[in-house]
Copies of this chain bind each other. A is one copy, B any other.
Amino acid sequence: MLNFDGPTPLYIQIKDSIRKAIASGEWKPNEQIPSERELCKRFNVSRITVRQAIADAENAGLLYKIQGKGTFVKAPKIGQGLTRITSFGKTLQISGLSGSTTILESQVVPVNLQLSSILNCGLEDQVYNLQLLGYGNDEPIVYYNSFFPLAVGYSMNEAAQKYLKLNRPFSTYDLYGELDIAADAVDQTFEAVNCTQEVAKIMKVREGTAMLVVTSVVYTRDSKPVEFKTAMYKADKYKFHLKRNM
By the criterion CB–CB under 8 Å, are B208 and A192 in contact?
Answer: no
Q: Which residue in B183, B191, B244 is a CB contact (below 8 Å) of A186? A: B244
Chain B min CB distance to A69 (Å): 16
By the criterion CB–CB under 8 Å, are B187 and A241 in contact?
Answer: yes
**Residue numbers in B under 8 Å from A60 (CB-CB):** 244-246
By the criterion CB–CB under 8 Å, are A189 and B235 in contact?
Answer: no
- The verdict on A116 contacting chain B, using a C-beta distance below 8 Å, is no
By the criterion CB–CB under 8 Å, are B212 and A211 in contact?
Answer: no
Bound complex: CA A83 to CA B59 (Å): 12
**Residue numbers in B under 8 Å from A243 (CB-CB):** 185-188
Bound complex: CA A246 to CA B185 (Å): 6
9 closest cross-chain pairs (CB), A and B? A192-B192, A192-B235, A210-B210, A192-B212, A192-B210, A190-B240, A191-B239, A194-B210, A188-B242
List A residues at the B interface (Cβ < 8 Å). Answer: 19, 56, 59-60, 79, 82-83, 85, 183-194, 208-213, 233, 235, 238-246
Given contacts A186-B246, A192-B192, 16 further A-B contacts (CB under 8 A): A79-B189, A82-B82, A185-B245, A185-B246, A187-B242, A188-B242, A189-B239, A190-B212, A191-B212, A191-B235, A191-B238, A192-B193, A192-B210, A193-B235, A194-B208, A194-B209
